[in-house]
Amino acid sequence: MGANVVFTALELFAKQLVAEEGMSPIQVLWVRAVFTLAALPILLRRSPLSIARTPRPGMQAVRGLLLLGAGLAFFFSLQAVPLADAVAIVFVSPLFMTAIAAFFLAEVVGWRRWSACIVGFAGALLIIQPGMGIRHWMYALPLFDALFSAVYVVLTRMVGRHDSAWTSLFWSVLAAGAILTLAQPWVWSPPTLQQWGMLAGISAASLVAHFCHIRAFAEGEASLMAPLSYIHVVFTTAGAWLVFGTLPDAMAGAGIVLIVGAGLYILHRETIRRGRPRPPPLPG
């Protein structure tokens, strides 16, 4: 829950920089990676080599590349896609995760949860509206973000059995930072003081949010943890309206409802299947 609230702030800064300020997503992601790589040894008071030590460097490197692909897909989509729509499409990722967890983590997924996955994908299609010539082609990019993120989370749970959250976080940005460094001569634009402030906000929010995210999925079952993050959609929609004055249209709104509803239904089925008590309702 904490990760997704902090991610909302990150996305608002990113939308401002990429869509309004015209900064390259590659530059934004590179600054975020460099900040994280520099901050972790200072925060932990450990050398980078000791933080990076892992029995599974190959799997950690793949995680980093998946996170890079997800970040590029999402940040580039912000150039043309409203923030609330992009985030809603990304939230088919938990539905991808449910399917992946069934095949690769041997988690039992019944017909009700499979049906919820289908409904959620139908919601994504309502937002994207493929083949109708209405949406910009960049509406498809958040789907790639969703797929890459789903595999990333599953691998995060696997490496979480052997590595600390800090090690996983370090590897998450190491591969991205190394690759994005090669592109900087072609995309770098000197930021203004205000832009540096937003880049710092993105970097700090990313550090906090990814640590919370890694810890959560290292401890919990993927298909159960994922739907808890749907509060993200609510905060992002409200933030996009307050900052940019944009709201989803009727079709996108219907798609968001289907995606969120499908995810929450999966959580409901897990609660019944495991016999866990439901959380008490919030005041008001």
In a domain, 73, yes or no: yes
Q: How buried is residue 254: exposed, middle or buried, by Cβ count under 10 Å (0-12/13-18/19+)?
A: middle
Q: How far apart are the C-alpha atoms of 89 and 84, rounded to whole Å?
A: 9
pLDDT over 90 percentage in the chain: 17
Q: How far apart are the C-alpha atoms of 248 and 32, rounded to whole Å?
A: 28
If one counts the domains in the chain, the total is 1
In a domain, 282, yes or no: no
Model confidence at 277: pLDDT above 50: no
In a domain, 283, yes or no: no
Where is pLDDT greater, at 281 or 126? 126
Q: How far apart are the C-alpha atoms of 245 and 142, rounded to whole Å?
A: 21
Average pLDDT of the chain to the nearest whole number: 81
Q: How far apart are the C-alpha atoms of 212 and 74, rounded to whole Å?
A: 20
Where is pLDDT greater, at 37 or 108? 37
Q: Which long-range contacts (CB under 8 A, 24 or more apart) does 131-136 make?
A: 136/80, 136/81
Model confidence at 284: pLDDT above 60: no
Q: Give one word for 53, left, alpha or beta, with left for phi > 0 and alpha for psi -120 to 50.
A: beta
> Which pLDDT score is estimated for 26?
93
Structural domain harbouring 244: 2-274
In a domain, 189, yes or no: yes
In a domain, 281, yes or no: no
Q: How far apart are the C-alpha atoms of 263 and 7, rounded to whole Å?
A: 19
pLDDT over 70 percentage in the chain: 86
In a domain, 82, yes or no: yes
In a domain, 92, yes or no: yes
Q: Where are the alpha helices (DSSP H) in the chain?
A: 2-15, 25-44, 48-52, 57-77, 83-90, 93-104, 111-128, 141-159, 165-181, 184-187, 193-219, 222-225, 231-244, 250-274
pLDDT digits (tens, 9 = 90+) for 140-163: 898 899 889 888 888 887 887 788
In a domain, 50, yes or no: yes
pLDDT digits (tens, 9 = 90+) for 166-198: 888 888 888 888 899 999 999 999 999 999 999
> Which pLDDT score is estimated for 193?
92
